[in-house]
Amino acid sequence: MNEHTTEGPDWFKRAVSTPREDRVVEVAGCPIHYLRWGDTAKPGVLLVSGSGAHAHWWDFIAPYFTDHNCVAAIDLSGMGDSGHRPSYSSEMFAKELISVCAHAGFNHDKVIIGHSFGGFVTLKAGLIYGDQLTGVVLVDAPVRPPDYEWERDPKYSPIQPKRVYPELEVALTRFRLVPAQPCENQYILDYLARHSLAQVASGWSWKFDDKLFAGFKIGNMSEDLSNLACRVGVIYGENSQLFSQEVADYMFKVLDRSVPFVAIPEANHHLLLDQPLAVISALRTLLAEWRHSKPQRGV
């Protein structure tokens, strides 16, 4: 794909044409691909996408943070251009995050920001490696009460079996958001679709490992949230299908009043796509506040 001919408004085209590096680090025998923008002398920010997604979901977000930060976006194992594993765990994903931070040259002053499933992985990294982080930001990553049954249908997986399409243009028309939602920014969906496909022997197919959630256990996220010691921020879509007011109230109760909760107006679950500039503004405000204040939580 020639990114310099990408459709979309000027802000988007400038962002995706910003120079970046493709880098790879091996973590527990698996190659983990990530992208890096900016000056490595600046404090680090690592961006983590949701299930089945990839680092390029942040191409039009990351450059807006390079004034103050060196920014990286990771392909978790089983996603994007990273390798696949025989099985996956939240602890291994957390290890991938902290390994990419080290490989990218981030020092102790770093923040991890995760969207959706990437938020759950970010939470696990904050729990295990919180003493190495400035803080974590959960972006529309709902943590539900302990009595909530996470797998209401044990046969359901957010990643469905992959198909192979004979031609690229046919495959591009099959790109879908999960969960489904409206998104008026078609230029973003087209951009992501092209970065989500790889050529295989008989045509084109999606890059993600469709066995990623076979046997995967999300763990007790409510317990993890209550035990999180590092700084934390919460950003969610006001119209999110997953992040209800009940979820927001529960998370606010588990955390404390010093934790910022920001609802993005007119945003659904995939708020990076339907309200990208509002998300950029919210994240920049949060990071600026953290640069100039001391933690009030028990860290």
Give the amino acid at 88: Y
What pLDDT is stored for residue 155 in this prediction? 44
Mean pLDDT of 269-283: 98
Most confident of the ranges 3-17, 187-201, 241-255? 187-201
Domain count, the chain: 1
Q: How many CA atoms lie within 13 A of 208 on its CB side?
A: 22
Strands 203-206, 197-200: pairing is antiparallel
Which pLDDT band holds residue 154 (cuts at 50, 70, 90)?
Answer: very low
Mean pLDDT of 274-283: 98
Residue 154 lies in a domain: no
What's 21's domain CATH number?
A: 3.40.50.1820
pTM listed for this prediction: 0.94
pLDDT in tens, 188-240: 999 999 999 999 999 999 999 999 998 888 888 999 999 998 999 999 999 99
Domain of residue 113 covers: 3-146+217-291
Residue 282 lies in a domain: yes
Closest CA to 268 of 249, 248, 242, 250: 242
Q: Taking the chain, what is the end-to-end CA distance rounded to the nearest angstrom?
A: 45
Residues 62 and 104 sit within 8 Å (Cβ to Cβ) = no
Which pLDDT band holds residue 297 (cuts at 50, 70, 90)?
Answer: low
Residue 21 lies in a domain: yes
Tell me: pLDDT of 151 over 60. Answer: no
Looking at per-residue pLDDT, the higher value among 230 and 293 belongs to 230
Mean pLDDT of 85-91: 96
In the chain, the percentage of residues whose pLDDT exceeds 90 is 84
Looking at per-residue pLDDT, the higher value among 258 and 113 belongs to 113
Residue 56 lies in a domain: yes
- DSSP string of 95-147, one letter each residue: HHHHHHHHHTT--SSEEEEEETHHHHHHHHHHHHHGGG-SEEEEES-----TT
Tell me: pLDDT of 296 over 80. Answer: no
Residue 125 lies in a domain: yes
Tell me: pLDDT of 299 over 60. Answer: no
Residue 241 lies in a domain: yes
What pLDDT is stored for residue 258 in this prediction? 80
Residue 118 lies in a domain: yes
What pLDDT is stored for residue 218 in this prediction? 82
Tell me: pLDDT of 94 over 50. Answer: yes
What pLDDT is stored for residue 93 in this prediction? 98
Mean pLDDT of 254-265: 90
Mean pLDDT of 73-92: 97
Mean pLDDT of 264-289: 98
Residues 45 and 111 sit within 8 Å (Cβ to Cβ) = yes
What pLDDT is stored for residue 17 in this prediction? 97
Residue 11 lies in a domain: yes
Cα–Cα distance, 131 to 147 (Å, whole number): 29
Give the amino acid at 117: F
Tell me: pLDDT of 27 over 60. Answer: yes
Average pLDDT taken over every residue of the chain: 92
